[in-house]
Structure 1
Amino acid sequence: MTTPSLAAEDAVPARPAPAGRSPGRLMWRRFRRDRAGVVSACVVAFFFLAALAAPLISWGYGKDPYTTYGLNEGGLLNEYGYPVAPDGGVSGRFWFGIEPTLGRDVLTQLLYGIRTSLLIAAAATVLCVLTGILVGVTAGYAGGRTDYLLGRFIDLLLAFPQQLSFVAFTPVVYALFVSPGKETPTSLRVVTLIIVLWVLGWMGLARLLRGQVLSLREREFVEAARVTGASTWRIVSRELLPNLWTPILVQATLMLPAMVTAEAGLSFIGVGIVEPTPDWGRMFANGAKYYESDITYIFFPGIAMILFVVAFNLLGDSLRDAFDPRTKR
C-alpha cells in the first residue's frame, strides 16, 4: 500500500525536458524579428524572381525588348524621335513607356536587363566566394612560406586600380578570341565580364578569411582536433568553415550588388554588353542621351538599381546581426 506522500508525488505530472535550439534556428529567429531584414529579403527575392520569370512576364505582357514599336507603328514617336504621349509614353499599353528613337518597350527591356546583369554578377560572385575561401583558408591554415607567397600575390592584385583594370582588361580578353574587325559575340562578352569581375574581385574576401583562420587555428578546439589525429580536410571542414560562415555570407551580400554596379558601369562606357542585348548598364547609357528631353526612360532603371543595392546592403547587415547577436545597429 502506497503512502499518501508517494501517491501525491506520483500524481504530479512530470515536466517536459527543455527543447534545445540549434544555432540555425536561433539565427532564423533573430532574423525574423528584424523588419528591415525581412523587407530587404523580400525585395531581393522579388528582383531575382522577376529576372527568372522575364520570358514568362514578357509572354503575358505581349511584348518583347527587341521589337521597335516606334518604327513599326506610326504615331508613337514625334519627328524628333521622342514619345508623343506624355511621361515617356507611359500608358495602359506601355506600362513603363517606350524608348526614344527606336520605341522599344521599357518594361521588357528592364526585366531582361536585370536578368542579364544578375546572371553575370551572380556567377562572378560565386566564383569570387569560392576562390576567396580556397585561398584565404589555405593561407591562414598553412602559414609559413605558403602564407607569405599567397599574401604577396593578393597584395599584387590589390595594387591594380579595380575600375580602371576592368576597363583596360576587358577589351584585351575580347581581342584574344575575336579577330580584329569582327563583331564580338554576346556569349563571349558575358563570359569575359564574368572572368574579369572574378579575377579582380576575390582578394578582399581572401584577406579577411586569412585573418580569421590565423586566429582560429590556435584555438583549443582546433588543437584538440589535431591531437585526436583528425586530417587537415576534417579540421578545415568541421572546425574552421562553420566559424567562417558569418563573414562569408556578409561579404557575399555586399559583393553581389557591387558586381551589379561594376557590370552596369562597364556596359555604360561601352566595353560590356552592347546593342541589342538588354542590359541594365546599357539602359543607363541610352538614358544619358535622352534625359534632357525625356527623363522618364532613365527613371525606372535608376529607381530599380537604387532599390536593389540598398535592399542587398540592408540584407547583409541583418544577416550579420542574426549570426552574431553581440552586434547591434
Structure 2
Amino acid sequence: MTTSQLPAAGAGSHEGRSPGRLVWLRFRRDRVGVAAACVVLFFFLIALCAPLIARLYGKDPYTRYGQREEGLLNEFGYPVKPNGGIDGEFWFGLEPFMGRDVFTQLLYGIRTSLGIALAATLLATATAVLLGIAAGYLGGRWDFLISRFTDLLMAFPNQLFFVAFLPIVATLFVDPREETPTWVRVASVVVVLWALGWMGLARILRGVTLALREREFVEAARVSGASPWRIIRRELLPNVVSPVLVQATYMLPNFVTTAAALSFLGVGLVEPTPDWGRMFAIGAEVHRADITYMFFPGVSMVIFVVAFNLLGDSVRDAYDPKADR
C-alpha cells in the first residue's frame, strides 16, 4: 500500500464540528438533561393535543357530570365514590360541587398555563435582547436611559405589582362595568408578566455585550464600516445565544407559577376557564374533605417545574462545560 493510499491521520475521529454541534453532543451525554427534556416535551405535547385527547376520552372540562348523572355527588357536593370519584369512567375523579371531570380540567389547565407562560417568555426575551444589547453596545446616553429604566422596574415588588396592575391592564381592553372576556384576562396576564419579567435577562445581556464590544471581531467589523445594526445582528447576537437560552429555561417555569398564583388569588383567570391556579384555589377550599383533587394538579406542576429547572441546568452546562453544577 502506497503512502497516498493510507487513510488520512485522524480522519473520521477529528471531524470539524460547529459550536452548536458540540453543545448538542454535550447535552446528549447528560442523562438528567435528556430525561428532563423528554418530560418537558411531554407536557407541551399534552397542551398541544388537549382537545384531541379530550375528544378521544369522551368528556370536556365544562360539562357538569355530577349534575347530569344521579349518584355521583353526595348532598354536600363531594364525589360519592372514594378517592375523589376516581374510577374507569372518570380517571382523575370529579371536581367537588361542580361535578366536572378532573382529567380534562387538568389537560386544558396545562394548555392554558403553558400558553400564557410561553407567550410571556417570548415577549420578555425579545424585549431583553433588544434593550440589553442596545444598552451594552451603544453605551453613553442610551446605556444610561435603558439601565435606569431597568433599575426602576426592578425596584418594584413583583408579586404585589402583578396583583395591582392586572385589573388596571384589563380596563384598557374593556369597560370595567362590563364582564371581562376570557381573552382579555389572558392578554392582561401576558402583558403584566412580560412588562415586569424582562429586566433580569436584559441586565445579563448588557454585561455580556459590554465585554463583547471590545473584542477583536467587533472592532474589525466596526473598522470595515459595518453599521451598528449589522454588528449587533451579525456579530453580537450569535454570541449571546447561550445566556438567552439558559435564562429562558428558567423564565418560563417562573411565569407558569406566577400565572397560577394570580389565578389562585382571583385576579387572573376565573371560572369557567380551566387553569392550574384555579384548580389550586378549589383544592385549597376542599382539601379537608377531598385531598385527592389537589393531588393531580399539584404533582403535575411540581414535575413540570423541576424538569424545566433541570433542563435549564443541563443547557447551561452544555454551553459552559467548565462551570460547576
> TM-score category by the smaller chain?
over 0.9
Counterpart among 15, 18, 34 of residue 8 in structure 2? 15
Q: Which runs of 5+ in 2 are unaligned?
A: none
Counterpart among 174, 179, 185 of residue 178 in structure 1? 174
Output one character per residue of 1:204-246: Cα deviation in whole Å (capped at 9) or x when no partner: 1111100110111011121122122222222112221111111
CA distance 1:11–1:151, change in 2 (3 Å): closer
Identity of aligned residues (%): 67
| CA distance in structure 1 between the partners assigned to 2:48 and 2:117 by the alignment | 14
2:259 is the alignment partner of 1:263: yes
| CA distance in structure 2 between the partners assigned to 1:14 and 1:253 by the alignment | 44
Output one character per residue of 1:265-301: Cα deviation in whole Å (capped at 9) or x when no partner: 0000111100001011000011111001101001000
**Match for 1:80: what amino acid?**
F
Indicate the structure (1 or 2) with the bigger Cα radius of gyration. 1
Counterpart among 134, 148, 159 of residue 163 in structure 1? 159
2:23 is the alignment partner of 1:27: yes
Output one character per residue of 1:48-97: Cα deviation in whole Å (capped at 9) or x when no partner: 00000000000000000001011111111111111111110111111111
| CA distance in structure 2 between the partners assigned to 1:307 and 1:14 by the alignment | 50
| CA distance in structure 1 between the partners assigned to 2:5 and 2:122 by the alignment | 57
TM-score scaled by structure 1?
Answer: 0.95
| CA distance in structure 2 between the partners assigned to 1:11 and 1:20 by the alignment | 22
1:181 positional shift: 3.3
| CA distance in structure 1 between the partners assigned to 2:150 and 2:260 by the alignment | 26
Give the root-mean-square deviation of aligned CA atoms.
Answer: 1.2
CA distance 1:151–1:306, change in 2 (3 Å): same
TM-score scaled by structure 2?
Answer: 0.96
Aligned pairs for 1:314-325 (under 5 A) are: 314-325=310-321
CA distance 1:192–1:11, change in 2 (3 Å): closer
Aligned pairs for 1:275-314 (under 5 A) are: 275-314=271-310
Query: 1:146 — aligned with what?
Result: 142
CA distance 1:157–1:76, change in 2 (3 Å): same
Aligned pairs for 1:68-79 (under 5 A) are: 68-79=64-75
SS in 2 for 1:177: coil
2:236 is the alignment partner of 1:240: yes
| CA distance in structure 2 between the partners assigned to 1:31 and 1:140 by the alignment | 30
| CA distance in structure 1 between the partners assigned to 2:162 and 2:320 by the alignment | 35
| CA distance in structure 2 between the partners assigned to 1:29 and 1:183 by the alignment | 52
Moved over 4 A (4+): none
Query: 1:228 — aligned with what?
Result: 224
| CA distance in structure 2 between the partners assigned to 1:12 and 1:274 by the alignment | 74
Query: 2:132 — aligned with what?
Result: 136
| CA distance in structure 1 between the partners assigned to 2:249 and 2:104 by the alignment | 26
| CA distance in structure 2 between the partners assigned to 1:34 and 1:313 by the alignment | 14
1:13 positional shift: 2.4
1:15 positional shift: 1.9
Query: 1:43 — aligned with what?
Result: 39
1:11 positional shift: 7.3
In the alignment of these two chains, the number of paired residues is 322
Query: 2:211 — aligned with what?
Result: 215
| CA distance in structure 2 between the partners assigned to 1:281 and 1:11 by the alignment | 70
**Match for 1:13: what amino acid?**
L
| CA distance in structure 2 between the partners assigned to 1:169 and 1:10 by the alignment | 76
1:10 positional shift: 4.9
Aligned pairs for 1:186-225 (under 5 A) are: 186-225=182-221
| CA distance in structure 2 between the partners assigned to 1:161 and 1:11 by the alignment | 71
**Match for 2:164: what amino acid?**
A
Query: 1:90 — aligned with what?
Result: 86
Output one character per residue of 1:117-146: Cα deviation in whole Å (capped at 9) or x when no partner: 111110000000000000000000000111
**Match for 1:15: what amino acid?**
A
| CA distance in structure 2 between the partners assigned to 1:293 and 1:10 by the alignment | 83
